[in-house]
Structure 1
Amino acid sequence: MNETQTPITVISSMATRQILNDLADSYTRSFGQPVTVESVGGVEAARRVEEGEAFDMVVLAANAISRLVAAGRVDAASRVGIARSGIAVAVAAGAARPWIDSEAAVRNAVLRARSIGYSTGPSGAHLMRLFERWGIAEAIQPRIVQAPPGVGVGALIARGDVELGFQQTSELIGVDGVDVIGSLPDAIQAMTVFEGALCENARAGEAARSLLEFMRHADADTAKHRYGMEAVR
């Protein structure tokens, strides 16, 4: 079997699941090269690559890619920006929508919420820092629900476990039973850059390099916008 027949294997965090599946399908249609994408919790994805599990390409937040570079598990020269994403706020479909047009409004919405959902990824870490800075972390602790790795905050909202949820926009868009209110205001927004890189034990390295270029090309921008993400140039 030559490399063009070998599926390119990609592992990623859940934040880029939809966009990577979309782009992988487009790549296969254009070049006839099969691509398999496995999306799991970001911490698990990084661990599996660091432990040497065989993948051709990994897509994670830039800081996680940096750690894999330091560990010698990915090719530093191959890393490229795939997309950037901000944090959105969501409630159950049809539920009342709190104001989130300012930092003060978001803080008030959090204080009034019966329960607050956040993720194990970069958006969750940012939220926890905000709660600490606002001086409310201890007060709301009993009402905070962290989504398990690989489970979206949207799923918790849809089944009624969480009243107010925060996560990467791409992970909340299109989730059944969820209304995305909007993005965090600029003053408290945190943009996460997701990068792709070739794994050091890639079996379809040249094909994966071609896929990386395809994913960062301007022709992929429309798909990124569809899932609430932006291009990285």
Structure 2
Amino acid sequence: MRFAANYFRNLTLGVAAALWLAGAAQAAEVHVMISGGLSAAYNALVPEFEKTTGNKVVTAYGPSMGTTVNAIPVRLGRGEPADVLILVGYALDDLIKQGKAVAGSRVDLVNSKIGVAVKAGSPKPDISSADALKRALLAAKSVAYSDSASGVYVSTEMFDKLGIAAEMKDKAKKIPATPVAEIVAKGEAELGLQQISELKPVHGVDIVGPLPDSLQKITVFSAGIATGSKEPEAGKALIKFLASPAARGTIINSGLEPIEGGAK
């Protein structure tokens, strides 16, 4: 009887160990490179994905474009591991053309609006129309904008549309890598312009509001699979989760608009 009991006990432990090892073998380590626009929602959602799937997510943050050390194209260029790339849609398209992301893997996740922020407690200027925003920008002693998609638009298109490119040349400053809101919170810029989802997580600023509709520039943030991914299926599962109805509330609370059926 003792032999039988020990036999079945050992058999049970063996089966349990085999099941645990099988589960461990199936668990994946998913490497993600992500730009700032979606980071707040992503950071809130990843723990649920890890809990549900057993996979571990390892994240590297950086701008969608540019030449700073943390920029996603620069990270890829020096061979950092990546399974999933989450960044501005047209920047992902560039990576696909360069062979650094898998063609056909792009999924559009969210639309992101540009907003204006001031230091917490400071008067909020009127930005309800193009003329009002123009007056606010001209009245500000200093303006900060990002080195990513929103900043490219602000500095190369919006100032021109408002007819104030010359006036903004000396007092508007591009902020590489660092969130614009941090510069505003420190009092180093009176007004800060960046995606609302990137302004919201920073303490010490008040968001005045989005740019007026006539000047607004919607940025699409997309996800794709990196070429050479070691865990493409786990990467696809993460993208599917971020695009699912379960993620919708968190995405909206972060200041973004989910895109339904965003596969390209």
For the aligned residues, what is the CA RMSD? 1.5
2:165 matches 1:137:
yes
Q: Deviations over 1:148-175 (max 9, x none)?
A: 2x20000000101000110001110031
Instruction: Give the 3-state SS of the residue equivalent to 1:98 in structure 2.
Output: coil
Q: In structure 2, give the amino acid aligned to 1:24.
A: V
Greater RCO (CA < 8 Å, at least 6 residues apart): 1
Contact 1:4 1:207 in 2 (8 A): no
2:27 matches 1:27:
no
Provide the residue aligned with 1:147 in structure 2. Answer: 175
Runs of 4+ in 1 over 4 A off after TM superposition: none
Contact 1:68 1:74 in 2 (8 A): yes
Give the superposition deviation at 1:48.
2.3
Provide the residue aligned with 1:186 in structure 2. Answer: 213
TM-score, normalised on structure 1? 0.95
2:41 matches 1:13:
no
Q: Which runs of 5+ in 1 are unaligned?
A: none
Measure the CA separation in 2 of the matches of 1:69 and 1:42: 13
2:234 matches 1:212:
no
Give the number of the structure whose alpha-carbon radius of gyration is greater: 2
2:68 matches 1:40:
no
Contact 1:3 1:204 in 2 (8 A): no
2:245 matches 1:223:
no
What are the residue-to-residue correspondences of 1:1-233 with 2, within 5 Å? 4-43=26-65, 44-50=71-77, 52-128=79-155, 129-148=157-176, 150-233=177-260
Give the superposition deviation at 1:144.
1.0
Give the superposition deviation at 1:52.
4.2
Measure the CA separation in 2 of the matches of 1:229 and 1:141: 30
Give the superposition deviation at 1:210.
0.7
> Percent sequence identity over matched residues?
31
Q: In structure 1, give the amino acid aligned to 2:148.
A: G
Give the superposition deviation at 1:38.
1.4
Measure the CA separation in 2 of the matches of 1:165 and 1:158: 9
Q: Deviations over 1:91-144 (max 9, x none)?
A: 000001000111111111000001011001111111111112222111121111
Q: How many residues align?
A: 232
TM-score, normalised on structure 2? 0.84
Q: Which runs of 5+ in 2 are unaligned?
A: 1-20, 66-70
Q: In structure 2, give the amino acid aligned to 1:21.
A: N
